[in-house]
Every structure is written in structure tokens, then in C-alpha cells.
Amino acid sequence: MLSFKLLFANTTICCFLIYSCKSTTTEDRIVYLKLNEQLEYSTNFIQKSSDMYLKHLESKTYDPHTAERAKIWFPKANEIRKLTSSICKYLENVKMLVDSDDKSNRRKEIADSVTSFVSKISSLDSNMTNEFKLEIRSLPKFHDSTIIFSSNLSSETSVSLLSRLQNQTTILEGQLIAYCDNQVGSNYDGYNKAFPLINQNSNHLKNDEELQIHVGVGFLNYPSYPRVYINGDSMTSADNGFFKYKTKVTGKPGKYILPIKIEYYDYLKKITVYKKVEYYID
């Protein structure tokens, strides 16, 4: 989850902005620009954390043991991401209009956008909404469009207040996506480890005879994974989950080796396993 330090830092920045509304000196504007940079950095950091939870949840939709529940919760998490991206994009556009004359309409637009966001988020899952009801209900309190478009504020301060609203929205997104991921447990302790089953039709062949290799990895835990490469060639899995390789052997009598590489994911980390097949040309 999100650290207390981030939340505390955000609150501190907000207090500074509110109590310094009338400061419009060059020095103060520079400070607001720096504060805005900090808020945007914090927002990006939180988004990356949310991305990890979202990708982890997506990977569970490909695991036969977790797919059933993951296919319930991943669409909800994905919708949370879409709703958050939409309102943050809208607020980013509003930043370019803080000096416009149409401030009364802007105030209403921001209020309506936040209200709509809260309503849609709340409708995704009743248990999740109940779990985070305080965080969801408090989101409208983190913005005051009257303050944002106040004539007492410099444009730099208004932009920082909008960044603050983006930050709070992103914090909520991170909490909700992590909640969705946590609703889909794993049926194992530790980690995935591939124990490939490798079979070949013969260890001893004559020139122009066919060598057949079958590789079975045993599970599918990520889109288009696992991947199997035999002698550098990428293999396509058959319907039964095995990877099949055929080649006619040629060469002088003796021992030959074909390298096999297997790639799969373990908790978002790609693992590579190397094996080999030996055969003899008689």
C-alpha cells in the first residue's frame, strides 16, 4: 500500500498552498512550481506502484488456479485505471485554462467531474466501496473549485492545487487496485518453478533420419508464456500444451547437442531455464 510519508507530504504541501494563497511574488511562484513538480513526481511514483498491482492481477487471469476469481476482479481494477486516467487527463487540460475568463463554468465542470468519478467508482463493487468509503467520500473535499479559480491566486498556485487533486485521485486508485489484487489469492506458497518434461524419439539416429523433441512445461502463467526455444528456433505450443520440434539430422558420426531455452514468469519476474538434448549419429 501507499506509504504514510507520501500522504503526510501531500497534506503538508496542501496546507502550504492554502495558507499562502495571496503570495504572488516571483520567489513564491518559483516555490509553487517546485511544489507542483513534487506533486507530479509523487503521482507518477504511485501510478507505477499501481501498474505493478494491475499487471500482477492480470497475470493471475492466466493461471488456471486463480483465473476464475481474477477474471472477476481484473475488469474492475482495469475500470478503476480507466476512470482515474480519464479524470487526471481532464485535470491536466484544465491546468492550461487557469487564466481563462470562463471561470464559473470551470468551477462547475470540476465539481461535476469529481462527483461523476466518485459515483462510478462507488458502483464497481459494494464491498470495496464499503472498505474505502471514507477515502472515496472525502475525495470531493480535496478540491474546492472556488479556491482554484480565485482571483487571489496566481496561475502557478492554481496549477498546484489541480496537481494536488490529481495526486489524491491517484492515491485512491492505488488503494483500490491493490484491494482488487488482494481479493485473488494464490494456491501456493513460494514461487513457480518450471520442471520441463523433455522427450525425444531416439538417442541414436542415422543421417537423414528425423529427430523429434517434445517439451512440456506444465503451466501457462502469463500472456504468450511460457516460451520455448529449441536450437534457437521459437516453438509454438500445441493444444495439449506441448512444444514439438522436428529436424532431419545430418553430419559425421558422433555426439550432438541441441540447446533448449524455456522462459516463464514468476511474480512479474521473467525466469529463463536452459536445458539440452543429446543424440548420436551412428
Residue 5 has pLDDT above 50, yes or no: no
* Residues 164 and 215 both lie in one domain: no
Question: Are 151 and 20 members of one domain?
Answer: yes
Task: Write out the residue range of the structural domain in which residue 234 sits.
Answer: 197-281
Looking at the structure, tell me whether residues 33 and 135 fall in a common domain.
Answer: yes
Same domain membership, residue 59 and residue 117: yes
Asked if residue 87 belongs to a domain, the reply is: yes
φ/ψ bin of 267: left (φ > 0), alpha (ψ from -120 to 50), beta (otherwise) = left
Residues 45, 82 within the same domain: yes
Q: Is the pTM of the predicted complex or chain greater than 0.95?
A: no
Q: What is the three-class DSSP state of 183?
A: coil
With a cut of 50, say whether residue 167 has pLDDT above it: yes
Q: Give pLDDT, residue 198.
A: 85
Is residue 109 a part of any domain in this protein?
Answer: yes
Instruction: Please state the domain count of the chain.
Output: 2
Average pLDDT of the residues of the chain: 79
The verdict on 176 and 211 lying in the same domain is no
Round to the nearest angstrom and report the end-to-end CA distance of the chain: 62
The answer to whether the CB of 110 falls within 8 A of the CB of 140 is no
| CA 48 – CA 177 distance, rounded (Å) | 12
H or E segment at 247? strand 242-248
Confidence band, pLDDT 50/70/90 cuts, at residue 89: very high
How far from 144 is each of 18, 57, 149, 150, CA to CA, in Å? Answer: 11, 35, 9, 10
The reply to whether 190 falls in a domain is no
pLDDT tens for residues 187-232? 554 445 556 778 888 889 999 999 989 887 755 555 556 788 999 9
CA distance 225 to 62: 9
Same domain, 178 and 201: no
Helices (H), strands (E): how many in the chain?
Answer: 8, 8
The domain boundary, picked from 182, 213, 238, lies at 182
In this structure, are 172 and 207 located in the same domain?
Answer: no
List all residues 6 or more positions away from 233 whose beta carbon is below 8 Å from its beta carbon: 245
Q: Would you tell me how many other CB atoms lie within 10 Å of the CB of residue 89? A: 11
Q: Is 191 inside any structural domain? A: no
Same domain, yes or no: 160 and 25: yes
